[in-house]
Structure 1
Amino acid sequence: MSESNIEMDNGSTSQKNTGEPSIVYKNIDVKTELESLVKLLDGKIYKEEEIAMEELHQYLIEDDGCWALSDNFLNFVGRIFKDMSFSPETRIHLIRALACAALNDDIIILLHQDRKEHTLMNFANDFDKQSPDEQRAWGTFMCNLFENPSSSEWLLYISEWQYNNQNISNLTVTTKVTVHCLLSNCPTLKDIGTSILFNLAIKDVKTVVFDDVAVELTMAILQFFNSNPSEVLVYRALRALVRFMEVSKDVGSFIQMIGPHPKTFLGMSERIDELVNLVISKIPV
């Protein structure tokens, strides 16, 4: 059975013009998210921030295009993210609204506007400090960025900046979020983590991009395999594992040394058997 025919709790697939379908999450009622956000922000934001909310409404409801978001919009987003006087629910509704925006091909305009302040990825780098609901919302946003080639490539940028005395990049943050989701006890986060892995696996990405993160993601996958995952999640993780074995000669050695060996999943399904045998064929003897 192909990935596009799998029933998932929260995800759906979207077919690209080239390659396989990415896994994205479209079951978000953007009107409800915006209405809830407006209520939570009532009387708590400045005039220019009210304008930013109007711009978001224009973009998501009136379909005006990303040009509707002014330079001040990311300042508004940054304050919601950083100002702890706003409730986690406020951030959740904003992020879920952004997850809807992430499905649009012109979201790359907003992402490029963030090249200086890195508002979005700095928040993502603090993923482990967020509430579970915030994590689920943010993971959905990042996964939905794989809907279009330009925004999926943005997730893998390797240019670094400093945040909290660390050098980070879009790729390292994407990796961090993926690992955290994979190793979470939350089923929804595991679903999101494997979805991001699958989306990474099907991208035509330069080998040099994955060189630095293939082993880290492999270690997370092997640990994830110990959590008794479902067939769907195993399939996505194995797809990623095959991809990482193609770009890093160290991956096969780690599989052999650390385990669990993917052959433990033989018999789970025909497509799992196919991937397991492919992995086995690539492990050094």
Structure 2
Amino acid sequence: MADTAAVNGNPESTLPSEQVLALEEEERKEEEEKKKARDPPIVFKDLIDVKDEFDSLVALIDGKLSPEEQKSTEELQQYMIGDEGSWALSDGFLDYINRLLNDKNFPADVRVKTMNLLAMAALKDDVILVLHQDRKDHVLMNFAYEIDRLSREEQEAVALFMANMFENLSSSEWLLYISEWQYNTQQISNIRVTTKVSVHCLLSDNPILQDRGSAIIYNLAAKEVKTVVFDDIAVEITMALLQYFNQKPSEEQLFRCMKALARFADVSRQEVPQLIQMIGPEPKTFRGTSERVDILIEQISSKLR
């Protein structure tokens, strides 16, 4: 005879593994609902051929790895090409990534290929499990923090990784963590690194970095997060946006930046409008660029009155 408690769905009668699966399914549904409700992020899904990038990476590091690192290369292949879940990655996977990003005996191309693959991994809905492995050593964010010291190709790969991290809610929220750690002589956090990367890219003279920087800032501004997080960065990014406006950006990038500025003016209602008036250029100077930009200009201008 069937257990009536189990039939009626009494949680006390279900196995722990079944309870975990049910919770995971519930969380997945909640995430999907939140995803549908938000503005779609700007991500770059088709820039990298994952198989070609992986094969190029293997050619560069072949014969230079320990047996454990070779195993991690196979795990990376399973995750990125075999379409296995992040469960395929062992506990030592971030140690492997750490070596690829920081061993100066490797050519810069190793770092570029590694970050490009991680940028494609960022589009996966379980990438947060990989990120959680990095809580102790902060391998990924320490590397990203050095963006101003990297080669152009490395910078582009870091920017791609960070933009694509906004594809999923959990990984985008990871970018905004405020817990600090010491890196060299600096106290940094995920949100500080995210801000530094976005500002550096936007103000670069490299069009690819500008494009990805404006995407990161747009995605940041679209996040529905507590004001306390934005208080710390709204002013810094606003100053970068105003400086960038002097470069006469394209309509697409102007739209992204105006969208961000409208959001920051809404969050930081005193400081951001004051900065716009003090530094300029005033948003209304861009009127007539497009209908969608004009709508945002009107929203911002209403905060300046």
Q: Could you list the runs of 4 or more consecutive aligned residues of structure 1 that deviate by over 3 angstroms after TM superposition?
A: none
Question: Which residue in 1 is equivalent to 2:296?
Answer: 275
Q: d(CA) in 2 for partners of 1:213 and 1:76?
A: 32
Residue matched to 2:271: 250
Work out the CA distance in 1 between the residues paired with 2:83 and 2:144.
27
In 2, Cα distance between the equivalents of 1:16 and 1:195?
Answer: 18
Distance in 2 between residues matched to 1:166 and 1:201, nearest whole Å:
25
Q: Does the CA-based 8 Å contact 1:158-1:169 persist in structure 2?
A: yes
Which residues in structure 2 correspond to 1:160-179 (within 5 Å)? 160-179=180-199
Give the paired residue count.
270
d(CA) in 2 for partners of 1:161, 1:281: 39
State the alpha-carbon separation in 2 of the partners of residues 40 and 105 from structure 1: 29
1:16/1:22 contact within 8 Å kept:
no
TM-score, scaled relative to structure 1: 0.93
Supply the AA of the counterpart residue of 1:200: L
Amino acid at match of 2:91: D
Indicate the structure (1 or 2) with the bigger Cα radius of gyration: 2
Give per-residue Cα distances to partners, 1:16-68, cap 9 Å, x unaligned.
32211111111111000100000000111111111111000011111110111
Uncovered stretches (5+) of structure 1, i.e. residues with no partner: 1-14
The question of whether the paired residues in 1 share the 8 Å contact of 2:221 and 2:263 is answered with yes
1:129 aligns to what? Answer: 149
The answer on 1:198 being equivalent to 2:194 is no
Q: Unaligned regions of 5+ residues in structure 2, if any?
A: 1-33
SS of 1:222 mapped into structure 2? helix
Moved more, 154-163 or 74-83: 74-83
The structure 2 residue matched to 1:265, chosen from 286, 291, 296, is 286
SS at match of 1:22: coil
Query: How far did 1:192 drift?
Result: 0.3
C-alpha separation in 2, matches of 1:122 and 1:201: 23
Q: Quote the residue 2:19 is aligned against.
A: none
Q: Distance in 1 between matches of 2:229 and 2:248?
A: 30
**1:83 aligns to 2:141 (yes or no):** no
CA distance in 1, matches of 2:225, 2:124: 21
Q: Matches of 2:92 and 2:184 in 1, distance apart?
A: 24
Other structure's SS at 1:161 match:
strand
> How much does 1:200 deviate?
1.2
Counterpart of 1:211 in structure 2 is 231
Q: Is the 8 A contact 2:101 2:110 kept in 1?
A: no
Matches of 2:65 and 2:253, distance apart in 1:
41
d(CA) in 2 for partners of 1:181, 1:104? 24
2:242 corresponds to which letter in structure 1? L
Contact 2:166–2:219, Cα closer than 8 Å, also in 1: yes
Paired position in structure 1 for 2:203: 183
RMSD: 1.0
Aligned with 1:157: secondary structure? coil
Q: Deviations over 1:129-178 (max 9, x none)?
A: 10010010110011111000000000000000000111000000000000
TM score, norm. by length of structure 2: 0.87
Q: Deviations over 1:239-272 (max 9, x none)?
A: 0001111111200000000011111110111111
Q: Distance in 2 between matches of 1:85 and 1:208?
A: 42
Shift of 1:195: 0.4
Structure 2 Cα separation of the partners of residues 133 and 145 of structure 1: 19
